[in-house]
A = this chain, B = another copy of it.
Amino acid sequence: MSDSSSPFTLLARSSQCAARRGELRTAHGTVQTPVFMPVGTQATVKGVTPENLRDLGAEIILSNTYHLYVRPGHELIKKLGGLHRFMNWPGPILTDSGGFQLFSLRQLAKISEDGAAFKSHIDGSALFLSPESAMEVQEALGADIMMCLDSCIPYPAAYHEAEAATALSGRWAARCQTTRDRAARYGNGQLLFGIIQGGMYPDLRRRSLETLLGIGFDGYALGGLSVGEPEELMDEICEFTAAKVPQNSARYLMGVGTPRNLVAAVYRGIDMFDCVMPTRNARNGMLFTSAGRLAIRNARYYDDPRPLDEACACYTCRNYSRSYLRHLYQAREILAAQLMTIHNLSYYTGLMAQMRQAIEEDRFLDFYRDFDKVDSC
C-alpha cells in the first residue's frame, strides 16, 4: 500500500505521549479513533440489537471468522447478502481471522505450513483453515476489515518456538495478501490488516513488523498479547511495537482489555480495541462505573434506587435502578443481560469518546494520570 492510499488519517497527536486521534475509512463508514469494537462472535453482540449498539455509540463491531465458518457457514451468509445484511448492522465490521480461536482450541487443531486442521467445536467434523481460505471466508462475509490468518504463541513460550510461529505467521500473511490482491480486482473495498506476532521477544516483534511492512497492509494489529503475561510486560511490548508502526497506519491491539488496559494502550499510541469483557461481564453481573466495578448480586443493592452509575446517561442508567437490575439478575431474567450489556458497552464507548476529546484538547496525559485515581476499573 502506498501512503496516499492509507485508509487511516491522523487528526491529532498528544504533545506529551504517543496518544493519537484519527479516523479510519471503511466501505461502511468512517470510524473515529481511538475506538472500541464490541464483539459479535456469532453475528450478534450478545443481548443487544443493532439499534442498541448505534444508540450507545458503537461505530464498528467485530465478528469471528472461525465461529461463522463453523456455524452457520460463510457461504450461507454470502447467499443471504453478506454479514451486514444477515445481522442487520449497517456499519463497519472487522472480522478476525480465526487464528486466535485456533490457538484457544489448539488441543483440537494441527498446524502445518499449509494451515490449520481442526475439529468443529459444534459437531466434531473435520475442518481446515489456510491463509487462502481465511481470506475467502472473510471476503464471503463481506467484512470491511479482514485480518490475516496468524499462528498465535502461548505465554510463556521458548524463543525458538516463538521464532518459528512468528516466521510462519509472516509467510501466511504474504499468502493472505496475495489472495486478497486477486479478490481486490473486483473492487470490493475490503481492507486487510496484518498481525504482528513475536510473543514477548522485542526482536521477534520487530522482525514480524518488518516482514508485514515489506508486504504492505491497510493497518497493523498487535496479536498475542493479553494471553496471561503480566500487565507491565504487555504495556512494554505494546509500547515498543506500536512506536515502530508508521504514523499513518492504524494500530489495533487485539483482544484487550480492561478500561485501564485501554487507557494505558491509547497512551502508547494504539487506535483500535476489541474485547469480550464488557459484554461477558455484563451477563455475569459485573458492571463498569465511573466509581469502579460493581457486582450487582451484592446484597447492598437490594433496595438501592440509584442507577448503576450516576455519571452515566445510557438507556439503562436513565431508566432503571440498581435494585431492579439486581432483582432481574437474581431472577435470571433475560432483561438483566440486555440492560447490563447496554450499560457496560456504553461505559466503554464513553471512555473512548472521553479519550478522543482529551487528545483533541491535548490534555491526554492528565486524563491518563487521573484515570487511576478516580476509576478503579
Contact among B71, B302, B321 with A327 in the assembled complex (CB-CB below 8 Å): B71
Judge whether A324 and B79 touch: CB under 8 Å.
no
A330 touches B47 (CB 8 A): no
Please name the residue on chain B nearest to A72 by beta carbon: B327
Taking the complex as formed, is A86 at the interface, i.e. its CB lies under 8 A from any CB of chain B?
yes
CB-contact partner of A49 in B76, B331, B335, under 8 A: B335
A72 touches B335 (CB 8 A): no
Q: Does A275 contact B (CB under 8 A)?
A: no
List residues 303-349 of chain A with CB under 8 A from any CB of chain B.
Answer: 303, 305, 319-321, 323-324, 326-328, 330-331, 333-335, 337-339
**What's the Cα separation between A88 and B321 when bound, in Å?**
10
**Which size class do A's interface residues fall under?**
35 or more
Give the docked Cα–Cα distance between A134 and B47 (Å): 35
Closest to A47 in B: B334
In whole Å, how far is A344's beta carbon from the nearest beta carbon of chain B?
A: 14
- Which residues of the other chain, B, contact A339 by a CB distance below 8 angstroms? 49
Protomer copies = 2
Please report the C-alpha to C-alpha distance between residue A71 and residue B324 in the assembled complex, in whole angstroms. 11
Taking the closest CB of chain B, its distance from the CB of A321, in whole angstroms, is 6
Chain B residues, Cβ within 8 Å of A333: 42, 44, 46
Per-position contact with B for A267-306: 1 when CB-CB < 8 Å, else 0? 0000000000000000000000000000000000011010
Q: Could you tell me if A321 and B86 are in contact, using CB atoms closer than 8 angstroms?
A: yes
Q: Are A44 and B86 in contact (CB under 8 A)?
A: no
A227 within 8 A of B: no
CA distance A86 to B327 in the complex (A): 10
Smallest CB gap from A321: residue in B: B80
Are B327 and A334 closer than 8 Å at their CB atoms?
no
The listed residue (B81, B321, B330, B334) touching A337 by CB distance below 8 A is: B334
Q: Which residue of B lies closest to A341 (CB)?
A: B334
Residues 52-87 of A, flagged 1 when their CB comes within 8 A of B and 0 if not, give 000000000000000000011000100111000011
The chain A residues found within 8 Å of chain B, CB to CB, are 42-44, 46-49, 71-72, 76, 79-81, 86-88, 302-303, 305, 319-321, 323-324, 326-328, 330-331, 333-335, 337-339
Task: List 8 tightest A-B contacts by C-beta distance, closest first.
Answer: A72-B327, A44-B335, A47-B334, A42-B331, A88-B319, A44-B333, A86-B324, A80-B323
